[in-house]
Chains A and B, each alone.
Chain A
Amino acid sequence: MNRRDFLTIPAQGVSAAVISALGASLIEAQDKSAQERYLKVPLRFFTAKQAAIIEAACERIMPTDESGPGAKEAGVVIYIDRQLAGPYGHDKYRYTKPPFFESVPEHGYQGKENPREIYAKGIETLGDFPSLKPEEQDARLISMEHSLFFQMLRTHTIEGMFCDPLHGGNIGMAGWKMIGFPGPSMSWREEIDKHFGEAFRPAPKSLAQIVGHPVRGMEDEPV
């Protein structure tokens, strides 16, 4: 792929393993005294402009606020970018033979367009989204609320927020920490019948930490 589009995210709290998994590179600050350092994450599907639009929309779905980190901080757009670049985005998991026709709701999505095409059109509808005020952004999303694109975007935002970090989202396990989910564990046998009626919230670990080696997701499989 001959792509030069990147997403820039704060380097704070991003582990070396995740930097490696994202293929990211650290931007060395010109001013050595600067507090903030940034990572350049190469994009696989979105252009930098598209990524900024999706990132802004996801942030309204799952905003950063007093209840905890939001979609931007968790790197949701990186998760979505990778899914759309992989087999899922190309509809490799769906029966795609014609004829296509609009059937009853009980048959689910019957359309011809794959997730990449649905996103491309959805991004056009979002238009100048990042430059709008938050209330205007919400109004625009509300006007699209019943579209398949919006429903996918909402679902993908939640996926990117709470996925294992191996998929590019949930950076720093920010989503898991917010809801007290500890991630995978080899065993809860000694814990399951204790803690009755009280919240048991061990610090989360990622799958790579549990198994001791990097794990590749299905989005990395050839399309």
Chain B
Amino acid sequence: MRTLKAVDVVIVGGGWTGLLMAKELATRTALEVVVLERGPARKSSDYGADMDEVDYGIHNKLMHSPALLTVTHRHSMKDRAAPIRQYGSFKPGTGTGGAGEHWGGNADRYLPEFFTLKTHLLEKHGKLPEDLQVADWGFNWDQIENDLWRAEQLIGVSGKAGNIKGKIIEGGNTFEGWRSHEFPTPPPKKTWAGEQFRKATLDMGLHPYPQPSANLSTDYTNPDGISRPGCAYCGYCSGYACMIGARAQPTNTLMPILRRRSNFSIRNGACVRRILHRDGKATAVTYMDEHGEEITQPAGIVILAAWSTHNVRLLMLSKIGDQYDPVTNKGLLGRNLTHQVITSARAYLVLKEAMNAFMSNSGLGYRISDYDGSFGIKSSDGILRGGTFNGAVLSASMPINSFGRIPPELAPRNWGAKWKAEAVRLHDHVIGGCGFRGDHLSWRQNFMDLDPVYTDAYGDPLLRMTLDWTEHEIRQLEFGERVGMQMTESLARVTGAKLYMRPAAAPLRPQQLAAPAGRRYNASDYNTTHIQGGAIMGSSPGSSVLNPWMQHWQLSNLWVVGSSAFPQNSSGNPTTTVLGTTYRAADALIDRYLKHPGALA
């Protein structure tokens, strides 16, 4: 047990949010900034030999091992929670760069009304379901747009705008909120499969647009002077680190700047266990270092920037804030737990043509926003929010994970001579039904607290998630599968492919060990890594943990950045908004708090 000399700022977590906060603080101020990162040091040049499906795609070499720390899950308060023993529905990262090292690069924006969703839905429907806990974030689109643009420039998003300052542009996402600028880089190269999906959806009168992506289409230099090359389409993308730096990762975008700053340091192997606090101020953090020694690091400002569930768990372990209780609806810490609502049309398309799907990246192809938010939703659909669609599961093109993706009716069982012959014949010729990704609204009964049974390597309780789909999400899933099937049928017409139905019992991923689990939240099958909420922001200390600048309402020198602060979960992937809100928090901290330390609201 050692206590170190105090530093100005300590940041917990060395991923996108922690290192962006560090970059802003270390370049705009003279403060001494220390980042504590649980995992190993990583740098871009480590990634020359990571094109290996077994170590990275299957054994999750870049992820945080659940052996050290996981979460538990139960569907309702009546159920017994079980630990997530091997990764299933999400995959948190570890090491310098965090999950930002293995993300897929999808760089969507949320719809404008998403930041004021409670107000929006009340205006639209008059009355909301009793247990719905969607909330306003405390700022609106006009106040966050420039920060989203800064985020897009930082990572160099490739795409085509559909709405520049109100001017609608065909070929871009015409449903998006106004944006101040065209994307920093143009859309990526076209693929055969992507073009078929584009034709199929244009035939339906829909508006396909290129998926915005942080996998650069061309060489690009960002406003910080960081240059990165265009994507090589090697196909080893989501789940792998980019060996050439075409995909924005904290190690290639932020660390090159931070390494030059003498007021910045990062300590790897530092697992933070508590935030110490006294008289309404955070005073220090305690952590186990790489040698297993317990260290106390005093600091003037503490910034929590770990992955979403870890931010919430650290607040709980440190006894900062009152635990939320869904029975009494009291307490704020742990509420608004959300994931994303993901499904795909229950179909297989057997194509005549080969796709050459080994050439790809995780952000290729087109997306459809005609049913996003409340666009295109009829009252008979029975849902408050829809989602976006894309052209099937194309990125799962690595040979182990995709071999045997054939309609089950073509072989008596999923092994043996007949199955092998069909799987070999149809390899690279079969895609699943079109995919759906919907908003996940926050409900009273979905929340996080500390597990009373299971602990981590140090004996601290794991975080427990109580989470299930409500009737609303089940209707969203049905909607996604129904509309996705219309797109899949159109894709069959355009390509002349044969359409097969996928039985409910057939797993989407041919090598999935656990059976598909129907309409309950399935912690054993990959969804997305976008678990959100638990320490939400808002404009009132009576209904949120953080103020609209991500400053803790009670501890003014504690900031909690990342999507743990998001009151509801969007169809759009979060990274752009995570980075945008981090810029907003950094500005408030540097331009306002440092001049007049204290509560900003």
Contacts and interface: CB of A to CB of B under 8 A. Distances in A.
Contacts of A181: 358, 399, 427
B497 interface: no
Nearest to B514: A108
Contact of B88 (A67, A108, A161, A218): A108
Interface in A27-76: 60-63, 65-68, 70
Given A63-B416, A145-B413, A199-B428, A107 B454 contact: no
A103 interface: yes
B75 A187 contact: no
Interface string B64-75: 011100100101
A215 B50 CA distance: 9
Interface residues of B, number: 73
A61 B416 contact: yes
Given A65-B417, A92-B65, A188-B233, A164 B53 contact: yes
Contacts of A61: 415-416
B85 A159 contact: no
A187 B233 contact: yes
Contacts of B243: 186
A158 B404 contact: yes
Nearest to B243: A186
Contacts of A188: 232-235, 358-359
A63 to B, nearest CB: 5
A222 interface: no
A94 B420 contact: no
A123 B359 CA distance: 39
A91 B236 CA distance: 26
Nearest to A58: B415
Contacts of A185: 234
Nearest to B63: A93
Contact of A110 (B85, B415, B424): B85
A164 B52 contact: yes
A152 B415 CA distance: 12
Nearest to A176: B399
A92 to B, nearest CB: 6
Contacts of B192: 195-197
B453 interface: yes
Given A60-B416, A92-B65, A106 B232 contact: no
Interface in B442-463: 453-455
A128 interface: no
B496 to A, nearest CB: 11
A66 B73 CA distance: 47
B86 A93 contact: yes
B591 interface: no
Interface in B333-357: 353-354, 356
B126 interface: no
Interface string B57-99: 0111100011100100101000110111110100000000000
B48 A193 contact: no
B513 interface: yes
A125 interface: no
Contacts of A161: 403
B455 A97 contact: yes
Given A108-B524, A218-B55, A191 B359 contact: yes
A96 B85 contact: yes
A193 B75 contact: no
A108 B427 CA distance: 28
Interface in B489-523: 511, 513-515, 517, 520-523
B51 interface: yes
A99 B195 CA distance: 51
Nearest to B189: A193
Interface string B125-139: 000000000000000
A103 B428 CA distance: 36
A178 interface: yes
A162 B400 contact: yes
Contact of B234 (A96, A101, A159, A186): A186
B226 interface: no
Contact of B189 (A159, A192, A200): A192
A110 B82 contact: yes
A155 interface: yes
Contacts of B428: 179-180, 199
Contacts of A166: 52
Given A106-B521, A154-B415, A65 B420 contact: yes
A158 B511 contact: yes
A151 interface: yes
Given A67-B420, A180-B427, A108 B233 contact: no
Given A96-B67, A166-B52, A106 B400 contact: no
B513 A109 contact: yes
Contacts of B427: 179-181
B520 A109 contact: no
Contacts of B319: none
Contacts of B66: 93-95
Interface of B: 48-49, 51-55, 58-61, 65-67, 70, 73, 75, 79-80, 82-86, 88, 189-192, 195, 230-236, 243-244, 353-354, 356, 358-360, 399-400, 403-404, 413-417, 420-421, 424-425, 427-428, 453-455, 511, 513-515, 517, 520-524
22 contacts: A63-B420, A65-B421, A67-B424, A91-B67, A104-B75, A104-B79, A106-B520, A106-B522, A107-B85, A108-B523, A109-B514, A141-B415, A155-B513, A157-B415, A158-B511, A159-B400, A179-B424, A179-B427, A189-B233, A197-B353, A200-B356, A215-B52
4 nearest A-B residue pairs (beta carbon): A108-B524, A184-B51, A187-B232, A199-B354
Given A67-B421, A104-B520, 19 more contacts: A91-B67, A104-B82, A106-B522, A108-B88, A109-B86, A154-B414, A162-B53, A179-B403, A181-B399, A184-B52, A186-B234, A187-B232, A188-B358, A189-B230, A192-B191, A193-B190, A195-B192, A199-B354, A207-B49
Interface of A: 60-63, 65-68, 70, 88, 91-97, 99, 101, 103-110, 138, 141-142, 145, 148, 151-152, 154-155, 157-159, 161-164, 166-167, 175-176, 178-182, 184-189, 191-193, 195-200, 207, 210-211, 215, 217-218
